[in-house]
Amino acid sequence: MISTKRLIKSFRHAFEGLKTAFVEEQNFKLMAFAVAVSLVVIVLKPMPLSYRAAIVLAGGLLLAVELLNTAAERAMDALSPDSLEEIRKIKDMTAGAALVASIAWVVVFAWVLFA
């Protein structure tokens, strides 16, 4: 059976994580602003539902990957604040994942705007 109390607690933790990322992480804040602008555009500009869905999905993916990147970087810093080569590689790879998601979002958004 689903525990309502545990479910509410897990949502509280998730929202706290979003709040922390928004307050403390410049890149997340910038990406959240860009995604918010794209959501305003899809509300104001007439377009097929599939285009709207593409923007919402690409924006959600972008923010999720940036959250994972931030969490991985913080975890690596907590494990070893020294600049070990393997930790640097892990942080570079997660940053690369965020870059790929950013590029994908830009491509989808531009495609929708100029289609």
pTM of the model as a whole: 0.88
Structure tokens at 81: 């604040």
Q: Are 68 and 97 in contact (CB under 8 A)?
A: yes
Hey, where are the domains in the chain?
A: 26-114
Q: Which long-range contacts (CB under 8 A, 24 or more apart) does 93-96 make?
A: 94/68, 94/69, 95/69
In the CATH hierarchy, which top-level class contains the domain 26-114? mainly alpha
- pLDDT for 13: 96
Mind listing the pLDDT tens digit for each residue in 57-100? Answer: 999 999 999 999 999 999 988 888 677 888 889 999 999 999 99
- pLDDT for 80: 80
Q: What is the 3-state secondary structure (H, E, C) of 62-74?
A: HHHHHHHHHHHHH
Mind listing the pLDDT tens digit for each residue in 89-111? Answer: 999 999 999 999 999 999 999 99
